[in-house]
Amino acid sequence: MNKYMESAIKLSQKNLKTHEGGPFGAVVVKNGKIIGRSANCVIKNNDPTAHAEIMAIRAACAKIKSYDLSGCELYTSCYPCPMCLSAIIWANIKTVYYGNTKEDAADIGFRDDFIYEYLKVLADGKQNTKVLKLKPLNHKEAIKAFDAFKKQKNKTIY
């Protein structure tokens, strides 16, 4: 078994005993070294965003003191949910290895499929208001910060 995937799987198995989150684990690897690792911490942290992949990304970023994880790989015990996929993309990680499938996650009660479906509907320019209502508000005021950012000479786009 791949040693990095083994580490991610062990983290997922540990959560079966600690009950700190679901049975998910992830590690971030750069140049053959683990620079971030975590199990799912949703219950422990009372934080619905504390998925294993996100927590491992946070740990890796803290370790290398950068928001950019270019050149890193992520090993996760399960196919990442839409939130985690987005975080992986924002972190510039280009390769993800996963153990379980999203269908396996659904089989144990994790509800990612309705989010995938919701995102497809949004991509088609529609809304499913039973899932989430997205309403524009105060655009004239909000755009002022964007306009000021656009004019800044010294800015970082990430």
Centre a 10 Å sphere on the Cβ of residue 54 and count the other Cβ atoms it contains: 24
| Active-site residue, selected from the candidate residues 53, 103, 117, 141 | 53
Q: How far is CA 80 from the centre of its chain?
A: 7
Pair 131, 114: CB distance under 8 Å? yes
DSSP string, the chain: --HHHHHHHHHHHHHHHH-SSSS-EEEEEETTEEEEEEE--HHHHT-TT--HHHHHHHHHHHHHT-S--TTEEEEEEEPPPHHHHHHHHHTT--EEEEEE-HHHHHHTT--HHHHHHHHHHHHTT---TTT-------HHHHHHHHHHHHH-SS----
Annotated catalytic residue 53:
yes
Please give the positions annotated as active site.
Answer: 53
